[in-house]
Amino acid sequence: MDTIPTEKVYQTIEKPLPFKKSKYFTYSKELKQLLAKGKFKKVVEVGSWYGNSTIFLAKNTSDDAKIYAIDSWIGYPKEIYGTTYNIFEQFLSNVIQKGVSEKIIPLRNTSITAFELFKECIGEVDLVVIDGDGSFEGVYCDIRLWGSLLGEGGAICGPIRSQQTLHAIKQFYSLKAANLEFTDKFWICRKI
């Protein structure tokens, strides 16, 4: 099996909500530079929220690329996000509004459970964008899991949202010889 069946998920939206922009997608310049340097056909995004970065990935990769958007769409922690009842509906609506639903496969799940599905069904990926659980443990776990699926020439990257994020990245890669690059708000590690 080379894909995860999701063909009917967009059909659940009878009337798409108006497009809504997320304040969290602040790294388009860095992501565009990375995408220009490689051919990424299997892309995993851990943490998709409204889908602004997911849509950007879809619009800046080849026509035959697939973007796997992984999110629970419930928000974490709940005290910060409050009610997130229609976040998934907003994600689907945004993707439909921008005309890229044929390239984006949403997987409504935790990162760990989605990883197990990937290991079984998809295998290697070309690019992983980590922007889910921003805690030290969440970032470290996501890098460890998803980085293990990178194929030759692949890359793993993400925004630096906090000192916890930065600490997790540096601690994970301190034990390995890594091709690691940083800007003030973004990181990339390329698999050579």
pLDDT tens across 76-135, in order?
A: 555 555 556 688 999 999 999 999 999 999 999 999 999 998 888 888 999 999 999 889
Look at 6-10, 16-20, 27-31 and tell me which has the smallest mean pLDDT: 6-10
pLDDT at 1: 37
Domain annotation for the chain: domains and CATH numbers:
34-190 (3.40.50.150)
User: What whole-number distance in Å separates Cα of residue 5 and Cα of residue 76?
Assistant: 26
- Mark 46-60 as b/e (b = at least 16 C-beta within 10 Å): bbbbbbbbbbbbbee
Give me 141's structure tokens. Answer: 């776990």
In 3-149, the DSSP E strands lie at 42-46, 66-71, 104-108, 125-130
Contact 115, 141 (CB under 8 A): no
pLDDT band at 184 (very low <50, low <70, confident <90, very high): confident
pTM, entire model: 0.91
pLDDT for residue 157 is more than 80: yes
User: What whole-number distance in Å separates Cα of residue 128 and Cα of residue 139?
Assistant: 12
> Nearest Cα to 47, choosing from 38, 33, 57, 37?
57
pLDDT, averaged across the chain:
89
User: What whole-number distance in Å separates Cα of residue 111 and Cα of residue 124?
Assistant: 16
Element (H, E) at 189: strand 186-190
Contact 91, 53 (CB under 8 A): no
> Nearest Cα to 69, choosing from 32, 38, 35, 100?
100
